[in-house]
Structure 1
């Protein structure tokens, strides 16, 4: 039985891109597994848009190897384009057409045929809760409706890999969460998503893996929890039943300190399973009972600031 993982949806090795003497991407290595959400984060000018443009065949790169859906975007651009969909930060919806007409136009561009095109349009209108607005001009849609229609248009060609460039920019919280659920449903159906976003909460909520770009270099990647544990400030809060237990715990846990009241201690730590086992074992050995335990780690805002706003030696420890 072959248990080897499937080929990655995206495989990049040593990717380089420059404009004149300005290096935009400097030796990028990354892989995106099929059927996952991979989020690309970084400050403005970090190289995120350039990366997406290269992967979606819009621009060429200067060095390295790239495979998208198993194809070389330079030698096999048509094969890559047949496998992908791109939803940009700004909607590609034609506001003078109805929602249904926008979808049928995309079906025509994909050469689906009249009957199949209408069937596909009806299916996507239903899927994205746009049936009631199907025959209204898209210019009358709310921002959330236009983003849903934009993504529906991307799906007309049934892509296996979708690039989402800041898909919830400008949306209200309810519309943003609706879009998040749509993304989760796509992944559940086996679609791979490469997501760029300025909302770190969005990456934390959706992404299986996250990569940080800064000045054209990939400075860290991992799951959200892995990245959070790398940043100082993580701790475990322990609450005890009485002050005698607290005093006993302070005698055992040399790095602990009172946290807010006389019954709660803060113990620095990364919150990992191994360190939690060691912590509880120390207390169990002295028969010290813990009533409540909670793990607190830095959020992705802290990670972002640490990675993009601290000295280079900090970044080296986070690779």
Structure 2
């Protein structure tokens, strides 16, 4: 089908976007790719465009965290279907037939399990499920339905929908400008309570309480079969920086992309970092055990002003 895969990044995530696109091309996925690039230089554009059928739209400024640019990036695509994929993810196998849902009235997105949903909201509440206080704020801010349509939230790392839902994307963008503060406060901002997941929280508020919004597809198609799978590296550090024990299970598949690109003479975003060198398996495995404690130590130092 006529579909564009869309992502966004700045130079810090250039390796991620490059690997995402490389995973598509290595696996025979021929969809055009649109990248909304922030603070890009011409060299950044060229290295992505060299992977084939990639259009980079450059933008210098954005008023919030780049994760909130998703609807703007999607609206730049001109195809019948629009697919968002976070640039800190990649495809295993050819997933073209599983990107979009056959019914154009539905949004293809992953709805969290009950257990995952509970863990998610522990950041702001001890209440099971979506906290009642969060639902009250979402209902008030959306101002349409009185009862929520769902009881579990969706993850915004991947979503695909028909271009007929462009008004929904525009509304998502407007709603973020309405309920989120200006400035880059990161992907997560627990000070916001009802919107601590920023763009994702706003998206879920609309899916829960909006009237003219796409319904969620009955199930997510990209986590059932390891031969056609979308992997999202949710935590820090990212694999082009260092591995964690959780992410390391995808070491071979991810570093295979670099090997493939070198074999096919594709330009690289830079010198291959240690974490992406397939011949450094043991060193990366050992380093992965210290990645999370080191991240926590750095975070603690920042909070203490050390």
Q: Does TM, scored on the shorter chain, surpass 0.5? A: no
Higher helix share: 2
**How high is the TM-score relative to the length of structure 2?**
0.27
Considering Cα pairs closer than 8 Å and 6+ residues apart, tell me whether 1 or 2 has the greater RCO.
2
**How high is the TM-score relative to the length of structure 1?**
0.26
Higher strand share: 1
